[in-house]
C-alpha cells in the first residue's frame, strides 16, 4: 500500500472530505484515541498542564487532554497546530452544536458524547518551526503526524531542514524538564533514525519505544525530554526507566531494554500485549476484563 | 484564540526570533468573544510563573479591556487563606477573573501584528493562520 505522504502534500491530502471521513470513522477514532492515551501516559503528567499538539488534526487527541480527570493529573489545556485548514474546520465542527439550542449532547451526528473542541487552533506548518516563546509548554504530543515532515514540499526545502526547524522550535518552546511524545509512522529504519537524530541534535534526550515491535501494526513513539527542571533522574535514562522495549538512543549511550522477552508468558501484561497485537491484525479478541489473565478454578 | 495563548505566541519569522519586539503580537481589528470553559484554578496556578504580565497589560489596554493590577498575582491570591483545616482551599475572585480573562476571552476575528517586521497573521473563526510563505521562513 502506498503511503499518503508520498502522494500528496498534507494540506491537499487532508481535504474536507478526507478530513471528515477520517474523523467520523470509528475505527480511526479508536486507534488514534488509544495512541493518544499511550502518549499521554508516557508524558507522565501529574498536574493540569499546558500542552502543544503537533498535527492536531480534528482534535481527537486534544479531546483526551481536555477530558483527563483531576485524579489522572488533568484536565489539561492544549494548543493545536495543523497544516490542513480542512482538518481544523472539522475540529471546530466536532460536537460544536449551537450552544443556544442546548442539544449538543444528544442528537449530534458524529458519535456520542463528543465534546466541543477546547484547544486553541493554529493553521501552521510544523516544518517551519514552532512560533511560541521559550519555555511555553509543559509538554507536547504528536499523533501520526511527524512522518509528514519527512517529505519536503518544495525543492528549496529538505526533509532534514524541516525536521531540524521543527525539533529546534519544539525544544525551545518546551519548559526545562518538559517532555514530548511523538507517535509516528516511519517509512523504514532509516527514516526512524533520521527523526530520532533530528530530535537529539536539537538538544533533546530522546528514546524510541515500540509497541507491537515486529508486527505490521507496530506503533513507534519518540519520547523526548528537555534537560534540567524536574525530570526524574535528570536525563533520558530516567525517563525510560520502567518502560519495556525502549531503545535509548542518545549521543551518550545506547541500551536496549529487556522488552517482551523479560515479560512473564501468560501474565496479564503478556496477554494484553498479545491481544493488542492480534486486534491490530484485524482479528477479533475477547474484551479485556478484570478476569483477564487470572487463574481459573478448574470446573467441569 | 484565547488571551492566554496570545501571551505565548511570537512572530514565526526567523528574522524576528532574536528580536524582543516580536513579542507580544498586537491585535488589530479584533472581534472578541467570551467562550465558557470549565474553571481550573490549579491550571491557573501552574501557569502564573510563566505569564508575561507586562505583555498581558499591553494587550488588555489595546483591546480596551479593564486595567489589570500592576503585577502578576501570587499563587496565594488564587485561593482563600486559612479556613477549616482539611477542606480544600476555595478559589478567590481573583482566580475567577483571571480565568475569565485568560481562558474565556478569545479573539474570534482579526489580525495579529508583529511590531518588529510588520507581518500580519489573520485570525478567522478563532483559528490563527501562521503559515509563512517559504521566503519568510
Ligand atoms: C493522520 S492525521 C492525525 C491527526 C491527529 N493527530 C489524530 O490523531 O487524529 C495527520 C495530521 O498531521 C497533519 N500534518 C501533516 N503535516 C503537517 C505539518 N507539516 N505541520 C502540521 N501538521 C501537519 C495533517 O494535516 C493531519 O491533520
Ligand atoms: Zn516578525
DSSP string over A236-289: HHHHTTT-SSEEEESSS-EEE--GGGGSPTTSHHHHHHHHHHHHHTT---PPP-
B42 to A157: CB separation less than 8 angstroms, yes or no? no
Residues found in chain A: 300
Query: Could you tell me how far CA A83 lies from the centroid of its own chain?
Result: 17
Residue A138, pLDDT above cutoff 80? yes
Task: Find the closest chain A residue to B106 by CA distance.
Answer: A120
A62: which residues sit within 8 A by CB, 6+ positions away?
A53, A56, A78, A80, A91, A117, A118, A119
> From the CA of B31, how far away is ligand 2's center (Å)?
22
Out of B23, B42, B134, whose CB is closest to A133? B23
pLDDT (tens digit, 9 = 90+) per residue, A141-197?
A: 999 999 999 987 666 789 999 999 999 999 999 999 999 999 999 999 999 999 999
A92 to B4: CB separation less than 8 angstroms, yes or no? no
Atom of ligand 1 nearest to the CA of A149: 19
Atom of ligand 1 nearest to the CA of A53: 6
Residues with CB under 6 A from ligand 1: A 10, 14, 32, 55-57, 60-61, 81-84, 87, 125-127, 143-145, 148-149
Residue B78, pLDDT above cutoff 90? yes
Domains and CATH numbers, chain B: 3-67+90-136 (2.20.25.10)
A207: which residues sit within 8 A by CB, 6+ positions away?
A222, A223, A236, A239, A240, A246, A247, A248, A249, A250
CB B8 within 8 A of CB A132: yes
Atom of ligand 1 nearest to the CA of A148: 16
Whether A161 contacts chain B with CB within 8 A: no
| 8-state DSSP, B80 | -
**CA–CA separation, A286 and A157 (whole Å):** 48
Domains and CATH numbers, chain A: 4-203 (3.40.50.150)
CA angle at B103 for the pair B99 and B108, rounded to the nearest 5°: 140
> From the CA of B72, how far away is ligand 2's center (Å)?
26
CA distance B34 to chain A (A): 13
Average pLDDT over residues B42-47: 98
To the question of pTM greater than 0.90 for the whole model, the response is: no
Residue whose CA lies nearest to ligand 1 atom number 13: A55
pLDDT of residue A242: 41
Measured CA distances, B70 to A150, A284, B29, B80 (Å) = 47, 62, 26, 21
Residue A139, pLDDT above cutoff 70? yes
CA distance A178 to chain B (A): 13
A159-173 vs A189-201: helix axis angle to the nearest 10?
40
Residue A118, pLDDT above cutoff 60? yes
Task: Find the closest chain A residue to B16 by CA distance.
Answer: A131
Ramachandran bin of A228, using left for φ above 0, alpha for ψ from -120 to 50, beta for the remaining angles: left
| Chain A positions in Cβ-Cβ contact with residue B137 (cut-off 8 Å) | 128-129, 165
**CA–CA separation, A238 and B95 (whole Å):** 35
- A34-65: burial string, b at 16+ Cβ within 10 Å, e else: bbbebbbebbebeebbbbbbbbbbbbbbbbbb
Q: Tell which one of A21, A25, A38, A83 to mutate to probe ligand 1, the residue whose CB is within 8 A of the most ligand atoms.
A: A83
Helix (H) or strand (E) holding A29: helix A26-43
Whether A60 contacts chain B with CB within 8 A: no
DSSP string over A34-99: HHHHHHHHHHT--S--EEEEET-TTTHHHHHHHT--GGGT---EEEEEES-HHHHHHHHHTT---G
**CA–CA separation, B113 and A196 (whole Å):** 35
Residue A286 binned pLDDT confidence (cut-offs 50, 70, 90): low
Nearest 5°: phi and psi at A169? -65, -40
Beta bridge partners of residue A210, listed in sequence order: A220
pLDDT of residue B19: 92
CA angle at B112 for the pair B108 and B114, rounded to the nearest 5°: 170
pLDDT of residue A281: 62
Average pLDDT over residues A242-264: 46
pLDDT of residue A111: 41
Whether A83 contacts chain B with CB within 8 A: yes
Average pLDDT over residues A240-268: 49
Whether A155 contacts chain B with CB within 8 A: no
pLDDT of residue B89: 84
A50 to B46: CB separation less than 8 angstroms, yes or no? yes
B1 to A120: CB separation less than 8 angstroms, yes or no? yes
Identify from B2, B3, B43 which residue to disrupt to test chain A contact, counting A C-beta atoms within 10 A and taking the largest count.
B43
Amino acid at each position: 500500500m502506498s503511503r499518503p505522504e508520498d502522494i500528496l502534500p498534507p494540506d491537499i491530502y487532508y481535504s474536507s472530505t478526507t478530513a471528515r471521513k477520517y474523523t467520523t470513522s470509528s475505527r480511526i477514532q479508536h486507534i488514534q484515541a488509544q495512541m493518544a492515551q499511550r502518549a499521554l501516559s508516557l508524558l507522565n503528567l501529574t498536574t493540569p498542564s499546558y500542552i502543544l499538539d503537533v498535527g492536531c488534526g480534528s482534535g481527537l487527541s486534544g479531546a483526551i487532554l481536555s477530558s483527563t480527570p483531576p485524579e489522572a493529573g488533568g484536565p489539561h489545556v492544549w494548543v493545536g497546530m495543523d497544516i490542513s485548514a480542512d482538518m481544523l474546520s472539522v475540529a471546530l465542527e466536532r460536537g460544536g452544536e449551537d450552544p443556544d439550542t442546548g442539544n449538543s449532547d444528544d442528537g449530534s451526528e458524529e458519535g456520542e458524547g463528543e465534546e466541543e473542541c477546547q484547544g486553541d487552533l493554529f493553521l501552521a506548518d510544523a516544518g517551519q518551526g514552532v512560533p511560541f516563546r521559550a519555555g511555553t509548554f509543559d509538554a507536547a504530543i504528536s499523533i501520526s503526524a511527524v512522518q509528514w515532515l519527512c517529505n519536503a514540499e518544495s525543492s528549496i526545502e529538505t526533509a532534514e531542514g524541516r525536521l531540524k526547524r521543527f525539533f529546534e522550535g519544539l525544544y525551545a518552546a518546551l519548559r526545562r524538564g518538559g517532555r514530548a511524545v511523538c507517535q509516528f509512522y516511519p517509512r523504514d529504519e532509516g527514516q526512524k533514525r533520521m527523526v530520532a537524530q533530528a530530535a537529539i541534535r536539537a538538544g533533546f534526550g530522546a528514546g524510541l519505544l515500540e509497541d507491537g515491535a515486529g508486527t505490521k501494526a507496530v506503533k513507534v513513539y519518540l519520547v523526548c525530554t528537555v534537560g534540567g527542571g524536574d525530570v526524574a533522574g535528570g536525563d533520558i535514562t530516567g525517563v525510560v526507566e520502567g518502560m519495556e522495549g525502549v531503545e535509548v538512543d542518545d549521543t551518550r549511550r545506547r541500551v536496549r531494554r529487556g522488552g517482551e522477552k523479560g515479560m512473564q508468558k501468560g501474565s496479564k501484561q503478556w496477554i494484553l500485549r498479545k491481544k493488542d497485537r492480534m486486534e491490530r491484525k484485524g482479528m477479533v479478541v475477547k474484551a479485556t476484563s478484570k478476569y483477564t489473565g487470572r487463574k481459573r478454578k478448574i470446573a467441569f | 484564540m484565547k488571551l492566554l495563548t496570545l501571551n505565548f505566541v511570537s512572530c514565526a519569522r526567523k528574522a524576528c526570533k532574536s528580536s524582543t519586539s516580536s513579542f507580544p503580537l498586537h491585535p488589530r481589528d479584533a472581534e472578541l468573544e467570551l467562550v465558557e470553559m470549565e474553571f481550573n484554578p490549579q491550571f491557573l496556578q501552574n501557569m502564573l510563573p510563566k505569564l508575561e504580565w507586562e505583555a498581558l497589560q499591553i494587550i488588555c489596554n489595546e483591546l480596551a479591556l479593564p486595567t489589570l493590577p500592576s503585577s502578576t498575582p501570587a499563587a496565594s491570591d488564587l485561593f482563600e487563606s486559612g479556613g477549616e483545616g482539611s477542606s480544600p482551599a476555595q478559589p478567590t475572585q481573583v482566580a475567577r477573573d483571571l480565568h475569565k480573562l485568560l481562558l474565556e476571552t478569545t479573539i474570534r476575528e482579526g489580525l495579529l501584528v508583529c511590531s518588529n517586521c510588520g507581518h500580519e497573521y489573520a485570525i478567522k473563526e478563532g483559528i490563527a493562520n501562521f503559515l509563512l510563505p517559504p521566503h519568510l521562513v
